[in-house]
Structure 1
Amino acid sequence: MAREIQSLRKAVIYRMVMPEHTCPYGLKARALLQRSGYDVEDHWLTSHEDTEAFKEQHAVPTTPQIFIDGTRIGGYDDLRRYLGKKVFEPGQTSYRPVIALFAMTFLMSLAVSYLVYGQPLTAQAIKWFIAFSMVILALLKLQDVESFSTMFLNYDLLARRWVPYAYIYPFAEGLAGILMIGNILTWLSVPVALFIGTIGAASVIKAVYIDQRQLKCACVGGSSNVPLGFISLTENLMMIAMAAWMAFAAWGNGGH
């Protein structure tokens, strides 16, 4: 019954729709209203003049603007709050980027394992999962090395003593991951992964668990809002475990 009553409610939206620009937040707001069962009256602001006149008339800084039952709700984020939806605030910390990354690399490793061995869950799939994760993490850092290095220098023990290491790190991580995917040049990939993983783990432990500092992690790039802590430590421990695993396997095979 409540759903039927809500579906009768009227929503009016004013949004920019111009030949050179259609406001994406206006499209999102309209779609959200429709999904929520509102009868939407859609008004287009088809020129910059119309848009500025509307903003001046209603004393609002931006569009779109949504009105429900004659009451102004505000823009897209305000609408989400009104409907009880989650809104990510600027600078808000979130584990979502890391969860998405690890989920995708895990599924990639299962897919490749199935292609090669005919079954998804194999020991090699776990190795690929770690190596794929290293490569993708390195790629995210390399998108903006300057931003990454700035954030990295907040906590990495070696980088704070020798700044060039903050620029070398993502290349070393990516190289080690690529070599590990192909299981080639183990003599190079293993010590590189062990070195950067050990320094990274020690840095996180000191910054978070000893010094009790509240920092953002540079693990998924310099623009991330992932908090430094368990996830960051896990990334480094995965590299150490992968390197140790491959070193043990190489030693068991006589170094080949």
Structure 2
Amino acid sequence: MTEPQRDAKLYRMVMKDHICPFGLKSRDLLQREGFRVEDHWLKTRDETDAFKEKHNVDTTPQTFIGDERVGGYDDLRRYFGKSVKDPDEVTYQPVIAVFATAALMALGFSWAAFDSLFTLRAVEWFVAISMCVLAILKLRDLESFSNMFLGYDLLAQRWVRYAFLYPFGEALAGILMIAGALLWLAIPVALIIGTIGAISVFKAVYIDKRELKCACVGGDSNVPLGFISLTENLMMVGMAIWMLIK
């Protein structure tokens, strides 16, 4: 026997200049959980403020199931037994996204160039593309990146401008390695910044035992400084040595 559909009331901001994303997510979650949603739009700031004052709440959206006020989107997720992300939680998701995408792009390039997925050039492209994507993430907000980078990089602590130059060097080396051009420039750049980075990370994490966040995917990440950061730098060093030998 099918369980009867339950009703829920949702109050969310839908204005000309703002549609609340958490309101949309709340409606979607309710519908996926089998609820019939009575969707109430708060169309002005005055209407929104009046609603919050009436129900003594600080934020919208707000969901009501029966006579119970469940609360906002996070509260609704908890109501259904779903996880709620902690904004300060350590995560490797950005790094996984970068390396997985870079690997798939490298395989795509290899297939387009050689009609084969698994080639030596694909490995080279994977490292070079990873360098470029990581550089892009740093360049999104150079100030934020430099603040985090200065916490552990040995050269940047002595010469602050290096913190601003590092992402450009990483991008330059990666682009030239993808193209296989001007390797006389790409190799020393990758070798220098990779070596300094690897030494800095190793000292901070394994000698000084400091618990820091990694600036490898930008200055707003919760990726811990450690093996991933060391890997990024060792990849650059390894790629530089390989290109030199080649």
The answer for the alignment partner of 1:61 in structure 2 is 58
Q: What stretches of structure 2 of length at least 5 have no aligned partner?
A: none
Deviations 1:41-100 (A, max 9, x none): 211112222211110011001110011232111111111222222222223221111111
Distance (whole Å) between structure 2 residues aligned to residue 234 and residue 85 of structure 1: 33
Tell me how far apart the structure 1 counterparts of residues 15 and 150 of structure 2 sit (CA, whole Å). 45
Is 1:95 the counterpart of 2:124 in the alignment?
A: no
Unaligned ranges ≥5, structure 1: 250-256
What TM-score results when the alignment is normalised by the length of structure 1?
0.92
Aligned twin of 1:196: 193
Q: Within 5 A, what are the aligned runs for 1:175-194?
A: 175-194=172-191
How many aligned positions are there?
246
| Aligned-pair identity (%) | 63
TM-score by length of 2: 0.95
Match for 2:161: what amino acid? P
Partner of 2:217: 220
Residue of structure 1 in register with 2:28 after alignment: 31
Deviation at 1:119, TM superposition (A): 1.0
CA distance in 2, matches of 1:133, 1:238: 9
The equivalences for 1:91-170 within 5 A come to 91-170=88-167
Deviation of residue 19 (structure 1)?
A: 2.8
1:147-204 CA-partner distances (Å, limit 9, x unpaired):
1111100001111112111111111111110110011111211111111111111111
Read off the aligned partner of 2:131 and give its amino acid letter: M
Shift in Å, 1:17: 1.6
Query: Which aligned pairs between 1:205-244 and structure 2 lie closer than 5 A?
Result: 205-244=202-241
**Counterpart for residue 75 of structure 2:** 78
Q: Which residue of 1 aligns with 2:40?
A: 43
Task: Report runs of 4+ in structure 1 exceeding 3 Å deviation.
Answer: none
CA distance in 1, matches of 2:71, 2:206: 42
Moved more, 13-22 or 170-179: 13-22
Distance 1:19 1:164 in 2: 44
The Cα of 1:227 is off from its aligned counterpart by 1.0
Deviation at residue 8 of structure 1 after TM alignment:
2.9
State the alpha-carbon separation in 2 of the partners of residues 146 and 18 from structure 1. 34
Q: Distance in 1 between matches of 2:18 and 2:240?
A: 50
Distance 1:198 1:55 in 2: 55
Q: Deviations over 1:190-235 (max 9, x none)?
A: 1111111111111111111121111111111111121111111111
1:253 alignment counterpart = none
SS in 2 for 1:21: coil
Give the Cα–Cα distance (whole angstroms) in 2 for the partners of residues 85 and 228 of structure 1.
Answer: 29
Query: How large is the RMSD of aligned CA atoms in angstroms?
Result: 1.4
SS at match of 2:64: strand
Aligned counterparts of 2:120 and 2:12: Cα–Cα separation in 1: 53
